[in-house]
Amino acid sequence: MKTYKNILRLCAVIICLASLNSCLSILEKPSSSDVTLDTIFSNRDYAESALYNIYYQLVPRGFPYTNGNYPENKSLQSQTQFSRSLLASITDECCNYRGATPGRYVNVAGFDAITASRNQEDSWAHRWPGIRAAWTFIKNIDKVPDEEIPDAEKTQMIAEAKALIALAYMDMLPRYAAMPIVDHPLGEGDATLLVQRSTLKETIDFILKLCEEAIPDLPDTYPSNMRGRVTKGVPLCIKSRTLLYAASPLFNSSASDMILDYDHPEFVCLEGYDKERWLKAAEAANDVLVWASTAGVSLITAADIAGGETDPKHNAYGYATSEKDNKEVILANKGYSSSNNGFGDGIFWTFSLRGMSVMLNIIKYFRKADASDQTWPTTLNEHRPFSEYTTKMNEMEPRFLQCVWPAGQAAPNFTKTGDYTKWPFGKIDDQMSASDMHGVGPMVKFCYNYSGELMKDWIVFRLAEFYLNYAEATAEYYGSADAKTPTGLYTAAQAVDVIRTRGGIRVLNAAEKADFHTQIVRERAVELFAEGHRWWDCKRWKIADDTFGGTLYTLRFVQNVAGSTATSYTEYYLAEHAEPRVWTKAMYFYPFPQEEVDKGYLVQNPGY
């Protein structure tokens, strides 16, 4: 089976294409190797291994490997996303109490340009070897004899490499804003390897250019044994997400609207609001939906699953966000082995009192099953009967129960038995310590039909996102939830209703349409919960000061022994302040490592 899991078969290829010595990998030439480019591009097997290595380096990861260990490639230990945690753990979505993690460092110390490798979510250096390898691949793939790889397939592989470069830049865009543009193999005739930052506009245009070049030469689908390779839909998705960022307030603004004073506005904003950016974003999202309609990509519905919507263990939303290679997935990271049990380590694995837990702050976005608002405790430290908590949890919409495991109940989306049949409510008392489990309940997103898997695919692009991208951009451009683009498949409201209906709640009413942006914020919080979007959404909307800089709240569940026996309990729950978190305006962007700034080619982001 030739998937990009095969990247390990030719370690020498990996070393020759991507082994770099500098902290910022684009600064140095690869270390010497006996394997030459002529050897790598002498036959199909070697060339394919080179391409698979690029996939391994550039497709984003969301689930960490256990303790940050990357057994296939130690150079990727600081790759994007935290060890032992998820990006959700530094938002208002979740807390992680699974020991020391980079996420905990961010929450207590913020970002630091000097010690960024220790407390920052992203490693600035990790993508550059893959970008460099991709350009080397593009330049040299024609060396492979035509009888090994026909010209048409070489053209397709070049398109894959360009899409992967665009994907890497898209992934860096909301983190760093403007970036150095590397558009050829460095080191061959370059006067300098110190590539300076381009402007934000140039960075965005570069991403879009790569996508436009890749789209015509990519297939709509691959055989089932090649799932994980780049289809035509992937650069369409990259365009959509990139243009949504470009149209949003953080970037689509003038220098006077910057979050901090800064001498280089060209690096962090587009230096003027342009309404037309919203139309471009809407059209790009619609292009994804049109492509999907002819490429066999569609939302998972109850009709696709035995048992339908009557049983939470057969839930369409849970299936779509958890099940490998389902028809809603456009791209997933499949570059792991079965021993990389960071999936469980990063969410809720041991079923003790530690792990990823859902915060009270985020559940206000979820609705009851009848689409009305749930009421949650607003007075801190007020003892309320635990039966009230149970009632409230059981009233919630279906998507909620695919994300949150209610205390004292069986896991709503597990099939595994034993400790999985009931979260250990009996172990919780009023002596909760800093290392204990906090939250409304443990997070069980991605655990649909869970039966003990060590690792799952991380979904990079899922079709539901692009309904929401389209809805937001269309309504922002036209000023109406009932508008649609000239070629649009839906009005903005209809696109949201597709997602709501699949999620198990009614369509938008007139009042909700009139307050449409609020509904977009809410739908994205629910539908895309813990999938790595909220950190960027709140920043691009410029609401992160209130969302991440506000107070984080949790619930505590208490069983106190009543009287002299241990068989009678007083059970109650209460809302309380979970923890103080550090948030500064500088955190809208990530710092570049100071050692790279000191080399004189990178201008540091504002606030650092």
For residue range 149-193, list pLDDT tens digits in order. Answer: 999 999 999 999 999 999 999 999 999 999 999 999 877 656 567
Res 226: pLDDT: 92
Q: Is the pLDDT of residue 403 over 70?
A: yes
> What's at 45, amino acid-wise?
D
- How long is the chain? 608
Taking CA atoms, 185 is separated from 28, 165, 182, 213, in Å, by 12, 12, 8, 18
For 485, other C-beta atoms within 10 Å of its C-beta total: 19
Res 75: pLDDT: 45
Res 197: pLDDT: 96
DSSP 574: E
Report the alpha-carbon distance of residue 19 to residue 74 in Å, rounded: 11
Tokens of 184: 């050829």
Res 345: pLDDT: 56
Q: Is the pLDDT of residue 540 over 70?
A: yes
Task: Give ∠ CA 280-285-286 in degrees, rounded to 5.
Answer: 95
Report the alpha-carbon distance of residue 430 to residue 131 in Å, rounded: 52
Tokens of 569: 């309990």
Question: Which range is most confident: 58-62, 155-159, 399-403?
Answer: 155-159
446 or 165, which is more confident?
Answer: 165
Res 352: pLDDT: 47
Task: Give ∠ CA 601-602-606 in degrees, rounded to 5.
Answer: 150
> What's at 353, amino acid-wise?
L
DSSP 563: T
Range of lowest pLDDT (9-18, 199-208, 355-364, 476-485) = 9-18
Question: Which range is most confident: 93-107, 275-289, 315-329?
Answer: 275-289
Report the alpha-carbon distance of residue 405 to residue 349 in Å, rounded: 13
State pTM to two decimals.
0.91
Give per-residue pLDDT as tens, 473-509.
999 999 999 999 999 999 999 999 999 999 999 999 9
Report the alpha-carbon distance of residue 505 to residue 248 in Å, rounded: 28
Calculate what percentage of the chain has a pLDDT beyond 70: 77
For 46, other C-beta atoms within 10 Å of its C-beta total: 18
> What's at 246, amino acid-wise?
A
64 or 231, which is more confident?
Answer: 231
Maximum distance among all alpha carbons in the chain? 84
Res 189: pLDDT: 58
Per-position DSSP letters for 163-228, written without gaps between them: HHHHHHHHHHHHHHSS-B---S-TTSS-S-S-PPB--HHHHHHHHHHHHHHHGGGS-S---GGGTT
170 or 20, which is more confident?
Answer: 170
Taking CA atoms, 426 is separated from 122, 415, 416, 484, 568, in Å, by 38, 22, 20, 53, 12
Report the alpha-carbon distance of residue 595 to residue 22 in Å, rounded: 11
Range of lowest pLDDT (245-249, 261-265, 352-356) = 352-356
> What's at 399, amino acid-wise?
R
Calculate what percentage of the chain has a pLDDT beyond 90: 60
Tokens of 122: 């992203």
CB 198 within 8 A of CB 178: yes
Q: What are phi and psi of 559, to 5 degrees?
A: -120, 105
Tokens of 544: 């992160």
Res 284: pLDDT: 98
Report the alpha-carbon distance of residue 554 to residue 603 in Å, rounded: 39
Res 104: pLDDT: 78
Nearest to 392 by CA among 377, 412, 378: 377
What is the pLDDT of the chain when averaged over all its residues?
A: 84
Nearest to 135 by CA among 188, 75, 195: 188
CB 395 within 8 A of CB 388: no
Average pLDDT score over residue span 528-557: 93
Q: What are phi and psi of 469, to 5 degrees?
A: -60, -45
CB 3 within 8 A of CB 228: yes
Strand order in the sheet with 94-96: 94-96, 356-358, 441-442
Per-position DSSP letters for 159-171, written without gaps between them: HHHHHHHHHHHHH
Report the alpha-carbon distance of residue 63 to residue 347 in Å, rounded: 9
Give per-residue pLDDT as tens, 266-308.
999 999 999 999 999 999 999 999 999 999 999 999 888 875 5
Nearest to 195 by CA among 204, 205, 185: 185
Pairing assessment for the beta strands 569-579 and 441-442 based on DSSP bridges: unpaired
Report the alpha-carbon distance of residue 167 to residue 164 in Å, rounded: 5
Provide CB contacts within 8 A for 48, sequence distance 6+.
Answer: 2, 6
